[in-house]
Structure 1
Amino acid sequence: MPAMNHSTNKNPMNVTQLPWAFPVGERFSGVQSSPVREILSVLSRGDVISFAGGIPDPDLFAVEEIKAAFDHVLTHQASKALQYASTEGEPALREQAAARMSRQLPTAAEQIQITSGSQEGLYLIGQTLLDAGDVVLVEQPTYLAAVQAFALSGARMVGIPTDEHGVLPDELERLIERHRPKFVYLIPTFQNPTGRCMPAGRRHQVAQILLRTGTALVEDDPYGQLRFSGEPVAPIGTLPGMPARTLLLNSMSKIMAPGLRVGWIRGEGPILRSIAIAKQAVGLQSPVTDQLAVARYLATNDIDQHIRRINTVYKTRRDAMHAELSGILPEGATITNPDGGMFLWARLGNDIDTSRLLPLAVEEGVAFVPGSAFYAHDPDHNTMRLSYVTNSPDVIAEGIQRLSRAIKTYSTRRSPATAH
């Protein structure tokens, strides 16, 4: 029997000491973990105020109503709820999802694929549509976990320049002609990370470009119902000519509870069969108990009233964070002030690198996400994303004061050698 390595014996879980490790597929070699998840994983200190994750306030969950829905399912549908089921999703939930989608676009239950949150939907779309080397056009900046999901399929992300209204139409058309992307991925309504909402006129311009060039759209809409002010704007995928060439994602995470992991994709035609096959390979089905409970909740509760309640709270918190930030950021800094969603986006100016600012902020007891994480390429290191939905106005005020101290420390410590 070979002699045991002494250091391995002392620390058997230290994988760096093992003589052999599983080879990892090439498509994983350049893919990084989500920076948001990395930040959240180290924020175990109870004294850190986190503006990092888009995490709904658990005090706003409709716990009793959700509990009643689960009780009903397990009392009256236990044999169904605890059994294998169809990959496409439970009929009751598909009907409820179709009814909600039909408020904006006529939708049949057969056009709905249930997913374990919209994040799984993005992964399934990547697995179904993308081959190694394909190009996906994304907003610059964009939702970082979508980039991660598409990159795992071997795709290359190309960022579309944007302004305060979203993607620039001329740049979108130029990049389509240059790269012939497999699809364009957009979050037009209260975008993550910027919070901006693309106006109706810009949406029509984008739709016309996609139709004229024959380009598919993957439209992500997890935040659209979190509107505090202004008139609702229809998704791009609902505009004339667009439904057949759009995969439209939605989720219950932001309006009900993210722990339920219930979302869906609306699509048309054979692509839904391909997505179902991909889902079979990933997990056979989404949890049936959760699906049936969400369907029961939607059938027996006024979720629109619940959404109005949380929007009232979130609006107050957005106002508090915007006001507090406006008071402490350096001269020349800019902050978005969105009509809904979960996030503010700040550009600090003064050559402040927010990736270097973050450790100082955590020392002060506050966290955010550096904006560079949200860029497919050419990141802007001067930006940051802050979520206002988790904390009360008093906690937000304290957190922003901690951030102010971190910025002052950064400015004091910075030297010409470390400045950008």
Structure 2
Amino acid sequence: MPGAASATATTVSTAVSLATTADFAAGSVTAAPVPELAGRASRTGASPVREILALTARPEVISFAGGLPAPELFDAEGIADAFRHVLADRPQQVLQYSTTEGDPALRGIVAGRATARGLATGPDDLLITTGSQQGLTLLSTALLEPGDTVVVEAPCYLAALQIFSFAGARVVSVPCDDDGLDPEALDEIVARERPKLLYTVPTFQNPTGRTLPAERRAAIGAVAARRGLWIVEDDPYGELRFEGEPVPWVATFPGAEDRTALLGSFSKIMAPGLRLGWLRAPAALRRACVIAKQAADLHTSTIDQAATAHYLAHADLAAHLGRVQVAYRERRDALLAGLGDALPEGSRWNRPTGGMFVWAQLPAGYDATELLPSVVEHDVAYVPGAPFFAGQADAATMRLSFVTHSPEEIREGLRRLGAALR
């Protein structure tokens, strides 16, 4: 009878399964190895900055390594008040699932701020992301196939190199000078390598702190239009200017308007713990990023978006930013004033007009990575410059963040650094 045969087969199968389980339990059967990790997981290393931060977590260490905003400058009470308000006013809404594109009120405020900065933007042009770094991941997912070529600045933001590695992209560096990316070199490389996109942090760049002049931004737009190239413009630091006049976004220049994805962040102007950013992109690319975000996390935190929208609508963000800018300028000045005594003779460094970082270069023959362990023994730290390069690295370089510590702590940190390097 078919039913009896089926029951017999099931019984035999169960017996075999139970016997096999018993064998494993007894240790008489060796388990087969699990499949290997994906190649992208094997070829992409951990962030060297995060590893250095772990080594310097001791409270006695004065660290110039992390790009961490000054926590004592957070408007904690204003942010807490925003959370209290939205939870009291509409708890069922702000604790519920939301749309992938983001809170309409928050998108409206971001659109208005972008328009005020010279880039006409509507709420529907925007996607709210879980930090601007997620925005870059979404763009990478939407644009890159394994083997595609990406061009980046030399040096380049570390997390961007990680993201492009996970995508399986080939990364090619564009030469830079003290003003940033060289448009003529970019044109030659794009013509030769046929990349799909250029990734750039043109304002107060991480790691160098330099700002690309307007004429070079215009030239980049022209190269992109002539050669057929996407531009990903990352701007997490643009509102941290404490000297000079703002430079328009690359996205505003002719040739760049229809091919630039612009990334922004609330991490540096409010608090990084919110993990809120935004992405502005042409319609087809933005729709692809929305789909990629649906697959990644459905949507960014509803309550964080609602509280941030309330904060931006009711708090005096300009006054808060003014306090931050004054403090950061004082800290930059303290760092610059002491570098001459702390670094070996023949070193050079830049003077950023905003942002969070100073880029320094030790004399020929010095290796900032090799020196770091002995420097940490003196309870001070920096980030070596070498990991920021996609191509040939400059081993003598280092990134120094000036925003996390007070001027007094910066001076003491430089004293320790000088003693360690001597």
Is TM-score (shorter-chain normalized) higher than 0.5? yes
Moved over 2 A (4+): 1-5, 18-23
Pick from 85, 88, 94: which aligns with 1:81?
Answer: 94
Aligned counterpart, 1:243: 257
Pick from 60, 67, 81: which aligns with 1:47?
Answer: 60
Aligned counterpart, 1:12: none
> Once the two structures are superposed, what CA deviation does each residue of 1:316-357 show, in whole Å capped at 9, x if it has no partner?
000000111122212221111100000000000141101111
Q: Please show how residues 261-410 of structure 1 align to structure 2 within 5 Å.
A: 261-408=275-422
Pick from 105, 110, 113: which aligns with 1:100?
Answer: 113
Residues 73 and 81 of structure 1 are in contact (CA less than 8 Å); yes or no, is this contact kept in structure 2? yes
Q: Please show how residues 12-27 of structure 1 align to structure 2 within 5 Å.
A: 20=33, 23-27=36-40
Residues 337 and 344 of structure 1 are in contact (CA less than 8 Å); yes or no, is this contact kept in structure 2? yes
Indicate the SS of the match to 1:29: helix
Q: Which amino acid aligns with 2:408?
A: D
- Give the superposition deviation at 1:42: 2.3
Query: When the two structures are aligned, how many residues end up with a matched partner?
Result: 396
Q: Which amino acid aligns with 1:81?
A: V
Aligned counterpart, 1:139: 153
Indicate the SS of the match to 2:258: helix
The 1:201–1:42 alpha-carbon spacing in structure 2 relative to 1, beyond 3 Å, is same
Aligned counterpart, 2:4: none
Pick from 166, 185, 188: which aligns with 1:152?
Answer: 166
The structure with the larger Rg is 2
Residues 250 and 256 of structure 2 are in contact (CA less than 8 Å); yes or no, is this contact kept in structure 1? yes
Identity over aligned residues, as a percent? 49
- Give the superposition deviation at 1:41: 1.8
> Once the two structures are superposed, what CA deviation does each residue of 1:181-222 show, in whole Å capped at 9, x if it has no partner?
110001110000000011111111222111221211000000
The 1:52–1:21 alpha-carbon spacing in structure 2 relative to 1, beyond 3 Å, is farther
Gaps of 5+ in 1: 6-17, 409-420
Aligned counterpart, 2:43: 30
Matched, 1:205 2:215: no
Using the TM superposition, name which of 287-296 and 212-221 deviates more. Answer: 212-221
Aligned counterpart, 2:19: none
Aligned counterpart, 1:215: 229
- Cα distance in 1 for residues equivalent to 2:24 and 2:265: 54
- Give the superposition deviation at 1:44: 2.6
- Cα distance in 1 for residues equivalent to 2:25 and 2:225: 68
Matched, 1:195 2:209: yes
Residues 385 and 398 of structure 2 are in contact (CA less than 8 Å); yes or no, is this contact kept in structure 1? yes
> Once the two structures are superposed, what CA deviation does each residue of 1:284-331 show, in whole Å capped at 9, x if it has no partner?
000000000000000001211111110000000000001111222122
Indicate the SS of the match to 2:376: helix
- Give the superposition deviation at 1:278: 0.4
Matched, 1:257 2:277: no
The 1:389–1:379 alpha-carbon spacing in structure 2 relative to 1, beyond 3 Å, is same
TM-score where L is the length of structure 1 = 0.92
Indicate the SS of the match to 2:395: coil
Aligned counterpart, 1:70: 83
Gaps of 5+ in 2: 1-22
Residues 330 and 350 of structure 1 are in contact (CA less than 8 Å); yes or no, is this contact kept in structure 2? no
Matched, 1:121 2:135: yes
Pick from 223, 245, 257: which aligns with 1:231?
Answer: 245
